[in-house]
């Protein structure tokens, strides 16, 4: 029997719009279209991954900003494709987005460069663990070892909208990360969970112990029960909300090719 695996993206898709969940996870219809915002985030992530992998592998002691920008530019060019779109009502062009990425990296360099000695121990770390007979999976952008008893889980964000610490404590993605990290590092007493907003250079950080674990696990399980119920009854209604305007499945007319 094939075991279903759950991720934040999968659960969030269901909670955002059940019809889109059906398209992606039941019918398995994947569009090759990509929003320019997602593309920008991907290339910035790849650039930061490159920096910290070179540090972990001790291939580079100091970085020049020019080399970082060159890597970013090459990744942008190599990965650009004809199915990248922007939302109709956002008045920004390809150059605007490209320049935003450079500005993000300049700020990151000014904050942490040229040595980037954050003591990263894991980059794009894949996790898989079980809770009450359900399997969860996640990929974490970066894990730093701050000292012998503290690790820092970092999720890069290219969006400008920042969560408050209060909302972070109820954030499903960070809760899933925290549970996963606590299973692979049982000897670690302190786990910090952060969003790092590359546009502002600011962290929003909570401690894993700040999350009500029992309440959070019950929330996860209840979400999965709702998913299983919808799949068994084949009940996937369209959630007609403002989120529809950002969906290139149901409203492709609101997206323009770049």
CA-to-CA dists, residue 66 to 25, 63, 85, angstroms: 41, 9, 28
Domain assignment present for residue 253? The answer is yes
CA angle 108, 112, 174 (to 5 degrees): 70
Structural domain boundaries enclosing 56? 5-116+240-257
Domain assignment present for residue 38? The answer is yes
Whether residues 154 and 89 share a domain: the answer is: no
CB atoms within 10 A of CB 100: 18
Residues comprising the chain, all counted? 258
Q: How many domains does the chain have?
A: 2
Q: Determine what percent of the chain is predicted with pLDDT higher than 70.
A: 95
Distance (Å, whole) CA 256 – CA 34: 11
CB atoms within 10 A of CB 235: 10
CA-to-CA dists, residue 155 to 124, 151, 227, 246, angstroms: 10, 13, 26, 23
Whether residues 81 and 10 share a domain: the answer is: yes
- Measured N-to-C along each axis, helices 36-56 and 65-79 cross at an angle, to the nearest 10 degrees, of 130
Q: Which of these three, 174, 193, 211, is where a domain ends?
A: 211
Model confidence pLDDT, tens digit, residues 114-163: 999 999 999 999 999 998 889 999 999 999 999 999 999 999 999 989 99
Whether residues 129 and 167 share a domain: the answer is: yes
Domain assignment present for residue 235? The answer is no
pTM score = 0.92
What pLDDT does 75 receive?
99
Whether residues 197 and 182 share a domain: the answer is: yes
What pLDDT does 252 receive?
64
| Helix and strand counts by DSSP (H, E) for the chain | 8, 9
4: pLDDT strictly greater than 90: no
Both tokens assigned to 162: 């920042």
Domain assignment present for residue 59? The answer is yes
Whether residues 109 and 56 share a domain: the answer is: yes
Distance (Å, whole) CA 109 – CA 103: 10
Task: Report residue 104 CA to chain centroid gap.
Answer: 16
Distance (Å, whole) CA 29 – CA 25: 8
226: pLDDT strictly greater than 90: yes
Q: Is the peptide bond before 114 cis (omega within 30 degrees of 0)?
A: yes
Whether residues 14 and 105 share a domain: the answer is: yes
Domain assignment present for residue 231? The answer is no
What pLDDT does 2 receive?
55
Whether residues 61 and 137 share a domain: the answer is: no
Instruction: Give 3-state DSSP helix, strand, coil % of the chain, rounded to 5.
Output: 45, 25, 30
The answer to whether 104 touches 199, Cβ cutoff 8 Å, is yes
DSSP single-letter state for residue 215: H
Whether residues 143 and 90 share a domain: the answer is: no
Which among 163, 149, 208, 218 has a CA at the least distance from the CA of 181?
Answer: 208
Domain assignment present for residue 192? The answer is yes
Domain assignment present for residue 233? The answer is no
Whether residues 78 and 178 share a domain: the answer is: no
Model confidence pLDDT, tens digit, residues 206-216: 999 999 999 99
Whether residues 153 and 248 share a domain: the answer is: no
For residue 201, what pLDDT band results from cuts at 50, 70 and 90? very high
Both tokens assigned to 59: 């291939």
Whether residues 17 and 110 share a domain: the answer is: yes
Whether residues 162 and 81 share a domain: the answer is: no
Both tokens assigned to 196: 């790092």
Q: What are the backbone dihedrals phi and psi of residue 22, each rounded to the nearest 5 degrees, phi first?
A: -60, -45
Q: Which of these three, 174, 191, 211, is where a domain ends?
A: 211
CATH number at residue 167: 3.90.320.10
Domain assignment present for residue 152? The answer is yes
């Amino acid at each position: 029997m094939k075991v279903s695996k759950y991720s934040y993206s999968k659960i969030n898709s269901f909670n955002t719009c059940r019809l889109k969940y059906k398209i992606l996870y039941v019918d398995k219809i994947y569009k090759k279209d990509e929003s320019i915002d997602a593309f920008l985030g991907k290339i910035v992530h790849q650039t930061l991954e490159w920096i910290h992998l070179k540090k972990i592998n001790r291939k580079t002691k100091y970085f020049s900003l020019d080399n970082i920008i060159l890597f970013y530019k090459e990744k942008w060019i190599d990965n650009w494709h004809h199915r990248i779109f922007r939302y109709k009502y956002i008045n920004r062009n390809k150059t605007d987005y490209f320049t935003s990425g450079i500005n993000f990296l300049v700020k990151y360099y000014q904050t942490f460069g040229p040595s980037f000695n954050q003591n990263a121990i894991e980059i794009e770390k894949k996790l898989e663990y079980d809770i009450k007979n359900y399997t969860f999976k996640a990929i974490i952008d970066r894990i730093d070892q701050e000292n012998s008893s503290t690790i820092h889980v970092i999720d890069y964000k290219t969006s400008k909208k920042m969560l408050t610490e209060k909302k972070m404590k109820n954030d499903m993605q960070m809760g899933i990360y925290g549970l996963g990290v606590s299973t692979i590092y049982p000897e670690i007493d302190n786990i910090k969970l952060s969003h790092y907003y590359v546009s502002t250079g600011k962290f929003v950080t909570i401690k894993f112990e700040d999350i009500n674990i029992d309440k959070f696990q019950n929330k996860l399980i209840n979400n999965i029960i709702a998913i299983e119920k919808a799949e068994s009854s084949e009940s996937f209604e369209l959630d007609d909300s403002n989120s529809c305007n950002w969906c290139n499945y149901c409203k492709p007319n609101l997206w323009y090719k770049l």
